[in-house]
Amino acid sequence: MVRLIQFMLTFVTTSVRSRLSLQAENAALRNQLFMYRRSGQRPQIRPVDRLLWCFMARFWAGWRATLYFVQPRAVTTWQKKRFRDYWRKLSQSVKPGRPRISRELRKLIRRMWGANPTWGSPKIVAELAMLGIDVAKSTVEKYRPKRAGPPSPTWRTFLDQHVRDLVSIDFFIVPSATFRVLFVFIVLAHDRRRII
Protein backbone atom coordinates (compact mmCIF):
# COMPACT_ATOMS: atom_id res chain seq x y z
CA MET A 1 0.00 0.00 0.00
CA VAL A 2 2.84 2.37 0.88
CA ARG A 3 4.58 1.66 -2.44
CA LEU A 4 1.36 2.39 -4.31
CA ILE A 5 1.05 5.77 -2.56
CA GLN A 6 4.69 6.58 -3.33
CA PHE A 7 4.15 5.64 -6.96
CA MET A 8 1.07 7.84 -7.22
CA LEU A 9 2.84 10.82 -5.60
CA THR A 10 5.80 10.40 -7.95
CA PHE A 11 3.44 10.20 -10.92
CA VAL A 12 1.64 13.41 -9.89
CA THR A 13 4.87 15.34 -9.26
CA THR A 14 6.41 14.22 -12.54
CA SER A 15 3.38 15.41 -14.50
CA VAL A 16 4.04 18.92 -13.21
CA ARG A 17 7.79 18.92 -13.96
CA SER A 18 9.22 20.04 -17.27
CA ARG A 19 10.05 17.65 -20.04
CA LEU A 20 13.76 18.56 -19.97
CA SER A 21 14.00 17.82 -16.24
CA LEU A 22 12.37 14.43 -16.75
CA GLN A 23 14.71 13.60 -19.61
CA ALA A 24 17.74 14.54 -17.51
CA GLU A 25 16.55 12.39 -14.61
CA ASN A 26 15.84 9.49 -16.96
CA ALA A 27 19.33 9.76 -18.50
CA ALA A 28 20.96 9.93 -15.04
CA LEU A 29 19.12 6.85 -13.77
CA ARG A 30 19.80 4.91 -16.98
CA ASN A 31 23.50 5.74 -16.72
CA GLN A 32 23.66 4.40 -13.16
CA LEU A 33 21.71 1.29 -14.11
CA PHE A 34 24.07 0.67 -17.02
CA MET A 35 27.05 1.06 -14.66
CA TYR A 36 25.58 -1.53 -12.26
CA ARG A 37 24.90 -3.98 -15.08
CA ARG A 38 28.34 -3.49 -16.57
CA SER A 39 30.37 -4.06 -13.41
CA GLY A 40 28.23 -6.06 -11.00
CA GLN A 41 27.89 -5.29 -7.28
CA ARG A 42 30.49 -2.57 -7.05
CA PRO A 43 30.24 -0.14 -9.97
CA GLN A 44 33.43 0.88 -11.72
CA ILE A 45 33.37 4.55 -12.57
CA ARG A 46 35.06 5.37 -15.85
CA PRO A 47 36.26 8.80 -16.99
CA VAL A 48 33.27 9.03 -19.36
CA ASP A 49 30.88 8.54 -16.42
CA ARG A 50 32.71 11.19 -14.42
CA LEU A 51 32.50 13.60 -17.32
CA LEU A 52 28.76 12.93 -17.73
CA TRP A 53 28.09 13.63 -14.05
CA CYS A 54 30.22 16.76 -14.09
CA PHE A 55 28.10 18.08 -16.98
CA MET A 56 24.88 17.04 -15.21
CA ALA A 57 25.97 18.86 -12.06
CA ARG A 58 26.81 21.92 -14.12
CA PHE A 59 23.60 22.18 -16.13
CA TRP A 60 20.89 20.44 -14.09
CA ALA A 61 19.76 21.57 -10.64
CA GLY A 62 18.20 18.24 -9.56
CA TRP A 63 21.24 16.02 -10.12
CA ARG A 64 21.80 15.34 -6.40
CA ALA A 65 18.40 13.66 -5.96
CA THR A 66 19.09 11.04 -8.66
CA LEU A 67 22.66 10.20 -7.64
CA TYR A 68 22.92 6.81 -5.91
CA PHE A 69 26.30 5.23 -6.64
CA VAL A 70 28.56 8.01 -5.17
CA GLN A 71 28.22 10.98 -2.84
CA PRO A 72 27.52 14.37 -4.43
CA ARG A 73 30.76 15.58 -2.85
CA ALA A 74 32.65 13.15 -5.13
CA VAL A 75 31.16 14.78 -8.22
CA THR A 76 32.21 18.25 -7.07
CA THR A 77 35.71 16.84 -6.41
CA TRP A 78 35.77 15.49 -9.98
CA GLN A 79 34.82 18.94 -11.26
CA LYS A 80 37.63 20.60 -9.30
CA LYS A 81 40.12 18.01 -10.57
CA ARG A 82 39.00 18.53 -14.18
CA PHE A 83 39.33 22.30 -13.74
CA ARG A 84 42.82 21.96 -12.19
CA ASP A 85 44.00 19.48 -14.85
CA TYR A 86 42.67 21.65 -17.66
CA TRP A 87 44.54 24.77 -16.48
CA ARG A 88 47.69 22.78 -15.70
CA LYS A 89 47.71 21.36 -19.22
CA LEU A 90 47.01 24.76 -20.70
CA SER A 91 49.80 26.46 -18.75
CA GLN A 92 52.34 23.69 -19.44
CA SER A 93 51.71 23.57 -23.17
CA VAL A 94 53.75 26.74 -23.71
CA LYS A 95 57.51 26.76 -23.16
CA PRO A 96 58.43 28.62 -19.97
CA GLY A 97 60.29 31.90 -20.11
CA ARG A 98 60.39 34.70 -22.60
CA PRO A 99 60.11 34.04 -26.32
CA ARG A 100 63.40 34.08 -28.20
CA ILE A 101 64.24 37.18 -30.21
CA SER A 102 65.35 37.00 -33.82
CA ARG A 103 68.99 36.67 -34.87
CA GLU A 104 68.85 40.03 -36.69
CA LEU A 105 67.73 41.80 -33.53
CA ARG A 106 70.55 40.18 -31.54
CA LYS A 107 73.07 41.37 -34.14
CA LEU A 108 71.56 44.87 -34.02
CA ILE A 109 71.84 45.00 -30.20
CA ARG A 110 75.50 43.90 -30.35
CA ARG A 111 76.24 46.43 -33.09
CA MET A 112 74.64 49.23 -31.03
CA TRP A 113 76.74 48.25 -27.99
CA GLY A 114 79.91 48.25 -30.12
CA ALA A 115 79.18 51.57 -31.86
CA ASN A 116 78.16 53.39 -28.67
CA PRO A 117 80.35 52.25 -25.75
CA THR A 118 79.14 55.04 -23.47
CA TRP A 119 75.49 54.08 -23.80
CA GLY A 120 73.85 51.99 -21.14
CA SER A 121 71.11 49.44 -21.67
CA PRO A 122 68.24 51.92 -20.94
CA LYS A 123 69.50 54.16 -23.76
CA ILE A 124 69.65 51.22 -26.19
CA VAL A 125 66.13 50.13 -25.15
CA ALA A 126 64.91 53.69 -25.82
CA GLU A 127 66.61 53.80 -29.24
CA LEU A 128 65.10 50.44 -30.19
CA ALA A 129 61.67 51.67 -29.04
CA MET A 130 62.02 54.64 -31.42
CA LEU A 131 62.53 52.09 -34.19
CA GLY A 132 59.34 50.31 -33.11
CA ILE A 133 61.12 47.36 -31.49
CA ASP A 134 59.85 46.55 -28.01
CA VAL A 135 62.51 44.73 -26.01
CA ALA A 136 63.28 44.45 -22.28
CA LYS A 137 66.32 45.96 -20.59
CA SER A 138 67.44 42.53 -19.36
CA THR A 139 67.35 41.22 -22.94
CA VAL A 140 69.59 44.06 -24.11
CA GLU A 141 72.01 43.34 -21.25
CA LYS A 142 71.99 39.64 -22.11
CA TYR A 143 73.32 40.30 -25.63
CA ARG A 144 75.92 42.84 -24.55
CA PRO A 145 79.32 41.86 -26.03
CA LYS A 146 81.90 40.58 -23.57
CA ARG A 147 84.90 42.75 -22.76
CA ALA A 148 88.17 41.78 -24.37
CA GLY A 149 90.37 42.60 -21.36
CA PRO A 150 90.33 41.28 -17.82
CA PRO A 151 87.37 42.33 -15.68
CA SER A 152 87.78 45.36 -13.47
CA PRO A 153 88.59 44.63 -9.82
CA THR A 154 85.79 44.59 -7.32
CA TRP A 155 85.37 47.04 -4.48
CA ARG A 156 86.48 44.36 -2.02
CA THR A 157 89.73 43.87 -3.95
CA PHE A 158 90.35 47.61 -3.86
CA LEU A 159 89.85 47.71 -0.09
CA ASP A 160 92.15 44.72 0.47
CA GLN A 161 94.93 46.30 -1.60
CA HIS A 162 94.71 49.79 -0.10
CA VAL A 163 93.73 49.15 3.52
CA ARG A 164 97.17 50.31 4.77
CA ASP A 165 96.71 53.65 3.02
CA LEU A 166 93.15 54.29 4.23
CA VAL A 167 92.43 56.55 7.18
CA SER A 168 89.33 58.09 8.67
CA ILE A 169 89.43 61.68 9.82
CA ASP A 170 87.08 63.49 12.17
CA PHE A 171 87.02 66.96 13.67
CA PHE A 172 84.92 67.90 16.68
CA ILE A 173 84.86 70.13 19.79
CA VAL A 174 84.82 69.14 23.45
CA PRO A 175 83.79 71.57 26.20
CA SER A 176 86.00 71.20 29.26
CA ALA A 177 85.12 71.46 32.95
CA THR A 178 86.53 75.01 33.04
CA PHE A 179 84.24 76.02 30.16
CA ARG A 180 87.04 76.07 27.63
CA VAL A 181 86.47 74.66 24.16
CA LEU A 182 88.94 72.07 22.94
CA PHE A 183 89.22 71.41 19.22
CA VAL A 184 89.93 67.74 18.50
CA PHE A 185 91.28 66.47 15.20
CA ILE A 186 91.49 62.67 15.08
CA VAL A 187 92.98 60.36 12.48
CA LEU A 188 92.21 56.63 12.61
CA ALA A 189 94.23 54.10 10.56
CA HIS A 190 92.15 51.23 9.19
CA ASP A 191 94.78 48.51 8.88
CA ARG A 192 95.28 48.19 12.68
CA ARG A 193 92.44 50.43 13.85
CA ARG A 194 94.78 52.64 15.77
CA ILE A 195 94.63 56.36 16.43
CA ILE A 196 97.40 58.25 14.67
Number of domains in the chain: 3
Alpha-carbon distance 142 to 55, whole Å?
A: 49
pLDDT of residue 126: 92
Host domain of residue 122: 103-142
pLDDT digits (tens, 9 = 90+) for 125-170: 999 999 898 898 988 888 888 777 677 788 888 888 888 888 889 9
Helix or strand holding residue 118 (H, E): none
Task: With cut-offs at 50, 70 and 90, classify the pLDDT of residue 36.
Answer: low
Task: With cut-offs at 50, 70 and 90, classify the pLDDT of residue 171.
Answer: very high
Q: Please provide the size of the chain in residues.
A: 196
What does pTM read for this prediction? Answer: 0.34
- 185 phi and psi, to 5 degrees? -115, 120
Pair (24, 68) in one structural domain: yes
Beta-carbon neighbour count of residue 50 at 10 Å? 18
Residue 109 pLDDT > 60, yes or no?
Answer: yes
Q: Has residue 87 been placed in a domain?
A: yes
Task: With cut-offs at 50, 70 and 90, classify the pLDDT of residue 114.
Answer: confident
Q: Has residue 135 been placed in a domain?
A: yes
Alpha-carbon distance 35 to 116, whole Å?
A: 74
Contact 135, 125 (CB under 8 A): yes
Pair (13, 46) in one structural domain: yes
Pair (68, 122) in one structural domain: no
pLDDT of residue 14: 59
